[in-house]
Amino acid sequence: MWDYTEKVMDHFKNPRNVGEIQNADGTGQVGSLVCGDALKLTIKVNKETEVIEDIKFQTFGCASAIASSSILTEMAKGKTLEEALKITNRDIADALGSLPDEKMHCSVMGMEALEAAVRSYRQGGEPVIFEQEPGTNIVCQCFNVSEQAIIQAIHNNNLKTVEDVTHFTKAGGACGKCKGEIQKILNKVLSCEIPSAPKEEKTKTYADMTIVEKIKAVEEVLSNDIKPKLNLDGGSVELTDISGNVITVKLLGMCGGCMNAAATLKGFVEKTLREKLSADIEVKQA
């Protein structure tokens, strides 16, 4: 039997926030029954503050999967979307008092499902299944694990062996054909041939960011540089979608019905986002 902490056993035997939110604002899914683990998160979001007011989960998996999902819902509830997206798999494991190495991938599932749920909310509420960014190099075909995901796991968790990588990502845990490729990636990372994966979004250009990183970056500019000024005139703005360099927003309050809305959109919102993130950004009205 696995050496589980009391916290893990508590959340396994008495899981919090189990179920599914009806008419959820966002639905994120990760994994599949074929792979042995699956997780579905549904969230209810306050449209004005973007605080997660409710979050529920359904999972098919072991005690670690149930406990990780349960404590994640407690950690995310009451946080803004931006704050919730900063929760890492290591945060989840630490909150449980640790997880067996062989079960660390369960905490990764929770992090990925939350990212998918937020993306779902951003895209209008249609369920989103977490998947790797298009064009990424898939190393483990059995579990759909990309090279970048493996590199990120190595850096974030100080992994040293192929077995470590399997524990955290499941890569190599089925047919095992990719273990040689995983070892090559480890060798390159540990010998510094591959640069450390950036931990701060500001070290990346906007074009190089993942969709989740783009959402975080845009939300930060909206919250710190744009919304405060719009609020002075009784208005606000809400991010609704991101597709490449095209950012779609919704002007709210006095700005929504203002005859100068188009000027505000281009002359202020788009201009500010271009100055802070990328000159290639185009802003459209939802």
8 Å CB contact between 41 and 121: no
Distance CA 150, CA 204 (A): 19
Distance CA 173, CA 223 (A): 42
User: DSSP string covering 22-63, please?
Assistant: TT-SEEEEEEETTTTEEEEEEEEE-TTT-BEEEEEEEEES-H
Burial class (CB in 10 A: 0-12, 13-18, 19+), 263: exposed
> What is each CA distance from 131 to 51, 127, 171, 273, in whole angstroms?
25, 12, 14, 27
What long-range pairs does 22-26 form, CB within 8 A, spacing at least 24?
Answer: 24/125, 25/121, 25/125, 26/117, 26/118, 26/119, 26/120, 26/121, 26/122, 26/125, 26/128
List the catalytic residue out of 35, 62, 142, 258.
35
Backbone torsion region of residue 36, taken as left when φ is above 0, otherwise alpha when ψ lies between -120 and 50, otherwise beta: left
Locate tokens 């449980």: which residue? 96
Tell me how far apart the 2 most distant CA atoms of the chain are, in Å. 67
Which amino acid, residue 14?
N
Backbone angles phi, psi at 5, to 5 degrees: -75, 165
> Could you confirm whether 178 is annotated as catalytic?
no
List the catalytic residue out of 106, 140, 178, 255.
106
Active site residues: 35, 106
